[in-house]
């Protein structure tokens, strides 16, 4: 049993958060040319889990949530251990709402962060990313490999 635990710890210890994830991935290209590799959350189960329980997220990593229909999708940070920027996008990749530097939530109840407009996609990146890369409402992001 001890050997199995050590093997699991060794296998996961040096992997990035994206390498640990089994989800498919795509790329989001920001207006300044910065490319972010994103895990794709396109099922109810993967959207519910999101980036929960992750203790790190590299600057060039994130997650994209894909919804079947355009709508108002509030987000919360339940069991999310790192602060994030949350970007809501329309079907054309245009940013319609931003929640900047959303803090982790480790206890109930967690606040929700609603968008200002309907969206089809939500992109989560590390806190401060939107400011660093001058992302604002109206910016258009290119998505590759994302349904």
> How far is 123 from 74, CA to CA, in rounded Å?
13
CA 21 centroid distance within chain: 13
Q: What is the DSSP string of 60-79?
A: TEEEEEEEEEEE---EE-BT
pTM: 0.84
Q: What is the pLDDT of residues 65-113, one digit of tens each?
A: 999 999 999 999 999 999 999 999 999 999 999 999 999 998 889 999 9
State the CATH architecture for 16-144. Answer: Sandwich (2.60)
Query: Which tens digits make up the pLDDT trace of 107-143?
Result: 889 999 999 999 999 999 999 999 999 999 999 999 9
Q: Where are the domains of the chain?
A: 16-144
pLDDT digits 0-9 by tens, 21-58: 457 999 999 999 999 999 999 999 999 999 999 999 99
What is the reported pLDDT for 106? 80
- Please, what's the b/e burial string for 53-81 (b: 16 or more CB within 10 A of its CB; e: otherwise)? ebeebeebbbbbbbeeeeeebebebbbbe
């Amino acid at each position: 049993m001890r050997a199995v635990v050590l093997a699991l710890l060794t296998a996961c210890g040096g992997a990035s958060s994206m390498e640990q994830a089994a989800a498919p991935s795509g790329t989001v290209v920001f207006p300044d040319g910065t490319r972010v590799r994103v895990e794709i959350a396109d099922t109810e189960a993967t959207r519910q889990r999101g980036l929960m329980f992750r203790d790190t997220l590299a600057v060039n990593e994130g997650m994209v949530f894909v919804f079947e229909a355009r709508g108002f999708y509030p987000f919360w940070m339940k069991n999310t251990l790192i602060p994030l920027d949350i970007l809501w996008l329309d079907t054309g990749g245009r940013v319609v709402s931003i929640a900047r530097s959303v803090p982790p939530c480790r206890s109930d109840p967690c606040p929700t962060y609603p968008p200002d407009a309907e969206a089809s996609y939500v992109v989560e990146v590390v806190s401060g990313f939107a400011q660093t890369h001058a992302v604002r409402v109206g910016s258009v992001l290119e998505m590759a490999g994302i349904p």
